[in-house]
């Protein structure tokens, strides 16, 4: 029979993060984490599959929030509205009181290349699940991929800014700013592409590898 | 001493893809691949680390092309120009004669979830390397991440369209179209965000979880 320890999961998560910060992720054992809050290794493994899981189970919930927001959107929602709903859900997922945790978690991940890889894979999976949810809502390819990648780009960039030193704005406000930046950047890039194309048209004999010269 | 088999790498690559398509990735052994072109397993392992590598070593080269194009750009290149250079390099990387290979490779990957995961991770690594190259060129965060993610989004979406059935345009032309689409999408999304923010300002008492209701 599984004994339920009230609050054990949160206590283990906090204890793990503190130990990872203090002595490094690799140097910390599950036994140490559990003992530091008066619990056993067995209790730890009832809550988390391994040492990494305390850092990454939130990403599964975040992924679900992206997918749910798409699934729950009104029947006639446009791709733009579906992505906006997912971004709103992501902003709700990270209220101000979560910022300190997110900053410390980032510090642990940046210090450990295998954790960085895990983070990359988790975000890539989130984007894939988001794309799939958009397709299920009738957004055809390649538009579903464009919409999902744009949405997760905005989230990723805004999140990075949200946890930056001294940043105090809400994630929703930072996302709004990043959205505007993405629009400007994409427009400039698109304009640049057209210039290049026009230039190519004007001088068809120009070497095609020019851009790398 | 390593004996060099002229063209062995390409022959092994083609043979592997054909067997993966015909009988499935999991069902194919390295021995079969090698024997089908009159080579030995040992020769195979001189060229590729494992069964997956024939499908994925091109992505390492692609990643290098992204990074090199950033490194080689003129000193005064703007972030937009750096990303445009990377996109141009990606388009050169996939000339028309590579389309058939890319289509068949995609077919193998779509049929095998672990290969899909590998593809996700490889693209995420490419984006990370691209971001790092942009930072090295003086693009500060979070702009480097925004620029790199925008660039790889355009590449990913354009590539998906480039290998679609019946598509005959060059990758460069598809990228130009996707760039315009990304601009429009980001602008609409940004406008949508502003509407939402304006609405929130007008009715400060509105529930903040509204977007998921």
The ipTM estimated for the assembled molecules is 0.82
Which residues lie closer than 8 Å to B14 by C-beta, 6 or more apart?
B37
Question: Could A188 and B156 be called an inter-chain contact, meaning their C-beta atoms sit closer than 8 Å?
Answer: no
> Closest by alpha carbon to B153, among A189, A159, A147, A110?
A147
Mean pLDDT of chain B: 89
Distance CA B174, CA B35 (A): 39
Of A80, A124, A175, the CB nearest to B120: A124
With CB atoms and an 8 Å threshold, state whether B88 touches A212: yes
Judged by CB atoms closer than 8 Å, whether chains meet at A183 and B181 is answered as no
In terms of pLDDT, which residue wins out, B193 or A128?
A128
Question: In sequence order, what DSSP letters do the residues of A108-129 get, joined into one string?
Answer: HHHT-HHHHHHHHHHHHHHHHH
Mean pLDDT confidence for A31-39: 96
Cβ-proximal residues to B193 (8 Å cutoff; 6+ apart), any chain: A84, A87, A175, A176, A179
Q: Please compute the mean of the pLDDT values over residues A107-124 and round it to a whole number.
A: 94
Per-residue burial over B42-55, b if 16 or more Cβ lie within 10 Å, else e, is ebbebbbeebbbbb
pLDDT of residue B190: 86
Counting beta carbons within 10 angstroms of the beta carbon of residue B196, is it exposed (0 to 12), middle (13 to 18) or buried (19 or more)?
A: middle
Closest CB to B176 among A157, A193, A209: A193
pLDDT-derived band of residue B194, with 50, 70 and 90 as boundaries? low
Closest-CA distance of chain A to residue B23, Å: 26
Q: What number is the average pLDDT over the span B187-210?
A: 57
User: What is the structure's pLDDT at B193?
Assistant: 59
Cα separation, A185 vs A82, in Å, equals 22
Output the pLDDT for position A191. Answer: 83
Q: What is the pLDDT of residues B25-40, one digit of tens each?
A: 999 999 999 999 999 9
Partner residue facing B124 (CB), from A123, A145, A186: A123
Q: Is residue A159 within 8 Å of residue B149, measured between CB atoms?
A: no
Distance CA B106, CA B115 (A): 10
Closest residue, chain A, to B195 (C-alpha): A176
Nearest CA in chain B to A195: B176
CA pair distance B177, B193, nearest whole angstrom: 24
Return the residue of B nearest to A180 by Cα: B190
Q: Which domains does chain B have, with CATH numbers?
A: 8-47 (1.10.10.60), 57-199 (1.10.357.10)
Quick one: closest CA in B to A82, which residue?
A: B189
Q: What are phi and psi of B117, to 5 degrees?
A: -60, -45
Which of B126, B142, B198 best tests the A interface by mutation, with the highest count of A CBs <10 A? B142
Mean pLDDT value of segment A138-163 = 95
What distance in Å separates residue B125's CA from the closest CA in chain A? 7
Residue B92's pLDDT is 96
pLDDT at B4 over 70: no
Confidence of residue A101 (pLDDT cuts 50, 70, 90): very high
Angle at A113 between CA A147 and CA B144, to 5 degrees: 45
> Is there a contact between A211 and B84 if contact means CB atoms under 8 Å apart?
yes
């Amino acid at each position: 029979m599984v004994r339920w320890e009230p609050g054990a999961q949160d206590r283990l998560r906090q204890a793990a993060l503190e130990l990872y910060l203090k002595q490094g992720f690799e140097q910390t054992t599950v036994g140490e984490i559990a003992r530091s809050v008066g619990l056993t290794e067995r209790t730890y493994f009832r809550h988390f599959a391994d040492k990494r899981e305390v850092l990454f189970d939130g990403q599964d919930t975040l992924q679900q929030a992206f997918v749910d927001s798409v699934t729950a959107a009104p029947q006639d929602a446009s791709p733009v509205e579906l992505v906006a709903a997912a971004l709103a859900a992501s902003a709700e997922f990270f209220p101000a009181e979560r910022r300190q945790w997110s900053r410390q978690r980032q510090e642990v991940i940046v210090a450990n290349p295998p954790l960085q890889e895990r983070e990359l894979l988790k975000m890539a999976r989130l984007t894939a699940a988001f794309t799939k949810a958009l397709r299920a809502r009738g957004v055809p390819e390649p538009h579903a991929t464009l919409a999902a990648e744009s949405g997760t780009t905005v989230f990723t960039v805004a999140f990075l800014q949200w946890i930056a030193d001294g940043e105090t704005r809400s994630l929703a406000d930072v996302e709004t700013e990043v959205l505007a930046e993405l629009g400007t950047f994409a427009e400039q890039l698109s304009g640049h592409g057209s210039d290049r194309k026009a230039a190519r048209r004007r001088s068809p004999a120009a070497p095609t590898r020019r851009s790398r010269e």
